């Protein structure tokens, strides 16, 4: 089972908007050195919505090759077209990804039965471990726990990234799902509490900026050490808020640029962090010990 801090990796870009392949390799090495337990490539934070189809597959392939088996690689392959999600998932399998992350279909607002049949079709079409991803704040459609539990009986659907921030819903999934079905947090502010309830990890935005702390907090929480886990998490609590002052990944890419991890380049329709929020994000970097001033 994949566990721990699973960074929702940013996709670094050059100032002219192309994928920065050198920086991407450097980020992989940085996260492995900092103790990150797994890498999620081309999820929401990786700007999956604005990468071309070939770029999407190429980033997954490059991350897999650079990681070279040292930690698990989870490929974001979700789409609101079942056919497209199957194709992306097949390409991720061919690239050597360890698992795929599949978001609830967005924009077209499927019913619960439509969600069930969508994910069932992908699981049956591509024999690779698959993690569901429920993030109603982005997709509008909200997959119910009942639908998730139906899907949990499919052998290669191995878990869910729950980004609702609703701990009661997460607790219910943990209690009712099969023992080999993992519930991961997709909400940094509540991640430690979910893991203390039995969640298996945190697919984290904050880990881009504070990878060692997020990894340590995850290890402690999964081990059941609530006091120590909360102490570590509190040391970076300011980041959990500051990295969402504008839609993700706008703030996290700006923060990453401030500490030299990448250039400040993001694709339209996303824009660089508004100057209004520069101080807030910078202060969070300082408060979390990432920057001196």
| pLDDT tens figures, 45-78 | 999 999 999 999 999 999 999 999 999 999 999 9
pLDDT tens-digit series, residues 222-241: 999 999 999 999 999 999 99
Distance, CA of 181 to CA of 213 (rounded, Å): 26
Work out the pLDDT band at 293, boundaries 50, 70, 90.
Answer: confident
Quick one: tokens of 225? Answer: 């050490």
In this prediction, residue 121 carries a pLDDT of 98
pLDDT at 108 over 90: yes
Rg (CA), the chain: 18
Domain ranges (residues) in the chain: 4-225
CATH topology of domain 4-225: TIM Barrel (3.20.20)
Work out the pLDDT band at 201, boundaries 50, 70, 90.
Answer: very high
Do the annotations mark residue 44 as ligand-binding? no
In this prediction, residue 47 carries a pLDDT of 96
Average pLDDT over residues 123-151: 97
In this prediction, residue 211 carries a pLDDT of 98
Average pLDDT over residues 255-263: 97
Q: What is the pTM of this model?
A: 0.96
Do the annotations mark residue 203 as ligand-binding? yes
pLDDT tens-digit series, residues 238-257: 999 999 999 999 999 999 99
Q: Which of 93, 116, 133, 253 is catalytic?
A: 133
Q: What is the mean pLDDT of the chain?
A: 97
In this prediction, residue 66 carries a pLDDT of 98
Cβ–Cβ under 8 Å, residues 13 and 46 = no
Work out the pLDDT band at 292, boundaries 50, 70, 90.
Answer: confident
In this prediction, residue 266 carries a pLDDT of 96
Average pLDDT over residues 150-159: 98
pLDDT at 273 over 90: yes
pLDDT at 184 over 90: yes
Is 23 labeled as catalytic in the residue annotation?
no
In this prediction, residue 215 carries a pLDDT of 98
Q: What's the chain look like in SS3?
A: CCCEEEEECCCCECCCCCECHHHHHHHHHHHHHHCCCEEEECCCCCCCCCCCHHHHHHHHHHHHHHHCCCCCEEEECCCCCHHHHHHHHHHHHHHCCCEEEEECCCCCCCCHHHHHHHHHHHHHHCCCCEEEEECHHHHCCCCCHHHHHHHCCCCCEEEEEECCCCHHHHHHHHHHCCCCCEEEECCHHHHHHHHHCCCCEEEECHHHCCHHHHHHHHHHHHCCCHHHHHHHHHHCHHHHHHCCCCCCCHHHHHHHHHCCCCCCCCCCCCCCCCHHHHHHHHHHHHHCCCCCC
In this prediction, residue 289 carries a pLDDT of 95
Q: Which of 66, 93, 161, 253 is catalytic?
A: 161
232: number of CA atoms within 13 Å, CB side?
Answer: 22
Is 161 labeled as catalytic in the residue annotation?
yes
């Amino acid at each position: 089972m994949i566990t721990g801090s699973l960074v929702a990796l940013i996709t670094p870009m050059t100032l002219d908007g192309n994928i920065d392949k050198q920086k991407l390799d450097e980020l992989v090495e940085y996260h492995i050195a900092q103790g990150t337990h797994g890498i999620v490539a081309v999820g929401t934070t990786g700007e999956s919505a604005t990468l071309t189809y070939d770029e999407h597959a190429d980033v997954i392939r490059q991350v897999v090759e650079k990681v070279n088996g040292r930690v698990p690689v989870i490929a974001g392959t979700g789409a609101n077209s079942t056919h497209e999600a199957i194709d992306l998932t097949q390409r991720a399998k061919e690239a050597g990804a360890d698992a795929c992350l599949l978001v609830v279909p967005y924009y077209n607002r499927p019913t619960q039965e439509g969600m069930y049949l969508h994910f069932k079709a992908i699981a049956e079409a591509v024999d690779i471990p698959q993690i569901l991803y429920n993030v109603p704040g982005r997709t509008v459609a909200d997959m119910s726990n009942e639908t998730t539990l139906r899907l949990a009986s499919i052998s290669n659907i191995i878990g869910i990234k729950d980004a609702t921030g609703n701990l009661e819903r997460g607790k219910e999934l943990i209690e009712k799902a099969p023992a080999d079905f993992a519930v991961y947090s997709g909400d940094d502010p509540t991640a430690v509490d979910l893991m203390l309830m039995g969640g298996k990890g945190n697919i984290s935005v904050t880990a881009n900026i504070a990878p060692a702390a997020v990894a340590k907090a995850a290890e402690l929480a999964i081990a059941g050490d609530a006091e120590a886990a909360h102490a570590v998490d509190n040391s970076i609590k300011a980041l959990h808020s500051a990295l969402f002052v504008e839609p993700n990944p706008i703030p996290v890419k700006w923060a990453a640029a401030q500490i030299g991890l990448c250039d400040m380049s993001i694709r339209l329709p996303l824009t660089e962090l508004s100057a209004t929020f520069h101080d807030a994000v910078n202060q969070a970097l300082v408060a979390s010990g990432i920057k001196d001033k």
